[in-house]
Amino acid sequence: MYKLTSFSVGPYDNNVYLLSDPKSKEALLIDAANDAPRIIKELEGLRVSHILTTHGHAIRPTRASPVTKLMNP
């Protein structure tokens, strides 16, 4: 059974979604748009297997880059 978590980040309240498997601790991160430190905190105890960006905005660049360092090779 997967767990879906959502939270808002940044000055525009960007929605970020985290789909995780409690057994394997693997996670899919969706729309990591802003506030990498907050996103990284939400990922504690999980292994990011994929990052999905559904769309982008010129005024709201993605902040997934620091998060990609947490991904499994």
How many CB atoms sit inside 10 A of residue 65's CB? 11
Position 73 in a domain: no
Its domain, for residue 64, covers: 3-68
The stretches of the chain forming alpha helices (DSSP H) are: 36-42, 64-68
Give backbone dihedrals phi and psi of 48, rounded to 5 degrees, phi first: -75, 120
Q: Tell me which H or E stretch contains 69.
A: none
Counted domains in the chain: 1
List of residues 6+ apart from 38 with CB closer than 8 A: 7, 9
Position 51 in a domain: yes
Structure tokens at 59: 């005024």
Position 52 in a domain: yes
Q: What is the pLDDT of residues 5-26, one digit of tens each?
A: 999 988 888 899 999 999 999 9
Query: At 73, is the pLDDT very low, low, confident or very high (cuts 50, 70, 90)?
Result: low
Position 56 in a domain: yes
